[in-house]
Structures are given as structure tokens and as C-alpha cells.
């Protein structure tokens, strides 16, 4: 028997083996409910409480219609074509305002962000104008462009343009100057530096500005459709207010909420696609 052989390693029972820890962590995650289920808990509880209050009469229909009543009204408005027609008109206004506001806002941000001369010529004026509540410009818009579709689209475009300008301009100016200097060292000319370094670096700001712009566009639409509108979601809300139809009002609000959620989902998808190169913290 070899007495010089080293003793066997001591076995400790205090800490589990690393592979067992990983297995336990994966098992704990697998026992969790899916994210969509966890995110649905609060809205479902709110709907249940709302329905109970409406069914028991604790919440009168004139104050706020019950979810079942709202659902029935939404089905009826969809069946007779009222809701799809209004939705189509409102979407057209938002898309036109979004396109115009994006063109102007991003264009001015590029001029001010990429050039000191452009900043001197553009930024002070835009910063001054953005402090003016664009909703307060409705009387002037009516005087300037009449009471047709133009003031509605212009109102949305202003709300979109200012948000995109601020975020894109900030995104351009937040690009690390060391990266630009590295590109210059590698022989990139100014146009190549802008295309390969500055614009990709400003892309997160553009995505953030787009999310804010879409939110503001629906807000501006509500006010815009009070200007001599004869169709649209905002028109339905104003008409329902005159007749105390809370179910119609809630249907219109839900449409706005769903459209905003859909718009945010589209932007998030764009972010995951266009910004896949940028690692971010997603929570634990």
C-alpha cells in the first residue's frame, strides 16, 4: 500500500456544484408564468372590477358604461361601418402629418446637428418655437389654411416634427467624437464619416423620437378633429359627448389606445431590427 499517495479531496456539502446551480436556475425560470400572462394580470383585474361595478349599478351608465356594454357598442359600430370609416379617416390624417413632420423635423435636425453653421441658423428658432403649445396655434392655422384637412394635418406635423428634431439632434451630438476621429484616421472622408459613424450613432435617438412623435400624433389628432370635422374618431367622440354616450366615448378611447400600442410595437420591432448591434439591459 502506497502511504505517500495524496489523500482524496474533501467533499463539501455547503455549496452545490455549478452545474446543479445552473439547472436549478433554469428550473426556476421555467416555473415562471410567461411574460404576456404576467403583463395581462393588472388589466384583467381592472376590467373585472369595472364590470362588477357596472353590473351592480355602483357605476351608472351615464358616468361610465360597463365593459360588456362598450364591447356590444363596438361590435355594432363596426357592423354598420361607422367605426371603420372613422378609423380610416383618422389614420389618413395621422399618416400625412407623420410623413410631413418627419421630413421637416429630421431634415432640420440633420442641418443643425451636422454643421455648426446649421446649428446657428436653425436651432435657436426651433427651440423658441417648440416652447409654444402647438394646440394654441389652432386659431392661427384656421386663419392661414382654412378649416379643411390642412389645419388637422399641420397640427399633427408640428407635434411630430418638434419631437423628432430634439431627439435626432441630440442623437447626432451624442456620437462619441473618438469614433469620428478614428474614422478620419482610417481615411474616411466627411460624407463617409456621416454615413458610417454619425447616422448609425444617432439611430437610437431617432427611434426614441419616433416613439414620442407617434404618441403626440394621436394627441394632436384629437384636437385637430375638433376643427370642423365631419368624420374621424375625434368627431365620433365629440358627437357622443353631446348625447352623453359614454359607451361610444370609451370605444373611441380604446381605439386610440390600441392604435398607440400598435404603433409602439412597430417601433420596438424596428429597434430590435435596426439596433441589433447595440447590447442593452433588458431586466432580470
Three-state DSSP class for residue 33:
coil
Beta strand spans in the chain (E): none
Quote the cell numbers at residue 75: 361590435
pLDDT in tens, 135-144: 788 888 888 8
**What's the pLDDT at 14?**
52
**What's the pLDDT at 100?**
95
**What's the pLDDT at 169?**
93
**What's the pLDDT at 10?**
53
Quote the cell numbers at residue 103: 421630413
Domains with residue ranges and CATH for the chain: 83-274 (1.10.3720.10)
Apex 155 CA angle, 225 and 97, nearest 5? 95
Quote the cell numbers at residue 90: 383618422
Three-state DSSP class for residue 247:
helix
Residue where the block lists cell 412623435: 213
CB 90 within 8 A of CB 225: yes
Give the confidence band of 22 by pLDDT, cuts at 50, 70, 90: low
* Closest to 230 measured CA to CA, from 89, 56, 105, 97: 89
Residue 259: how many other CB atoms lie within 10 Å: 19
pLDDT in tens, 170-201: 999 888 888 888 888 888 888 888 888 888 88
Amino acid at each position: 500500500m502506497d502511504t505517500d499517495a495524496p489523500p482524496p479531496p474533501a467533499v463539501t456539502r455547503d455549496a452545490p456544484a455549478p452545474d446543479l446551480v445552473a439547472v436549478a436556475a433554469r428550473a426556476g425560470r421555467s416555473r415562471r408564468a410567461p411574460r404576456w400572462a404576467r403583463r395581462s394580470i393588472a388589466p384583467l383585474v381592472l376590467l373585472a372590477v369595472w364590470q362588477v361595478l357596472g353590473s351592480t349599478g355602483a357605476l351608472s351608465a351615464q358616468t361610465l358604461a360597463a365593459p360588456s356594454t362598450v364591447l356590444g357598442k363596438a361590435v355594432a359600430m363596426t357592423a354598420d361601418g361607422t367605426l371603420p370609416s372613422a378609423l380610416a379617416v383618422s389614420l389618413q390624417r395621422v399618416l400625412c402629418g407623420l410623413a410631413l413632420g418627419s421630413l421637416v423635423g429630421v431634415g432640420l435636425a440633420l442641418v443643425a446637428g451636422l454643421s455648426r453653421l446649421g446649428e446657428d441658423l436653425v436651432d435657436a428658432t426651433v427651440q423658441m418655437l417648440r416652447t409654444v403649445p402647438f394646440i394654441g396655434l389652432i386659431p392661427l392655422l384656421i386663419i392661414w389654411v382654412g378649416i379643411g384637412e390642412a389645419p388637422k394635418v399641420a397640427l399633427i406635423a408640428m407635434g411630430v416634427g418638434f419631437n423628432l428634431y430634439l431627439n435626432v439632434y441630440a442623437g447626432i451630438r451624442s456620437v462619441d467624437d473618438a469614433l469620428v476621429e478614428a474614422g478620419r484616421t482610417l481615411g474616411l472622408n466627411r460624407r463617409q464619416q456621416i454615413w458610417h459613424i454619425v447616422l448609425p450613432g444617432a439611430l437610437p435617438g431617432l427611434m426614441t423620437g419616433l416613439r414620442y412623435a407617434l404618441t403626440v400624433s394621436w394627441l394632436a389628432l384629437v384636437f385637430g378633429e375638433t376643427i370642423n370635422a365631419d368624420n374621424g374618431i375625434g368627431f365620433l367622440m365629440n358627437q357622443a359627448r353631446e348625447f352623453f354616450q359614454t359607451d361610444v366615448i370609451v370605444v373611441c378611447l380604446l381605439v386610440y389606445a390600441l392604435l398607440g400600442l400598435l404603433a409602439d410595437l412597430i417601433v420596438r420591432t424596428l429597434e430590435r431590427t435596426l439596433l441589433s448591434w447595440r447590447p442593452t439591459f433588458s431586466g432580470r
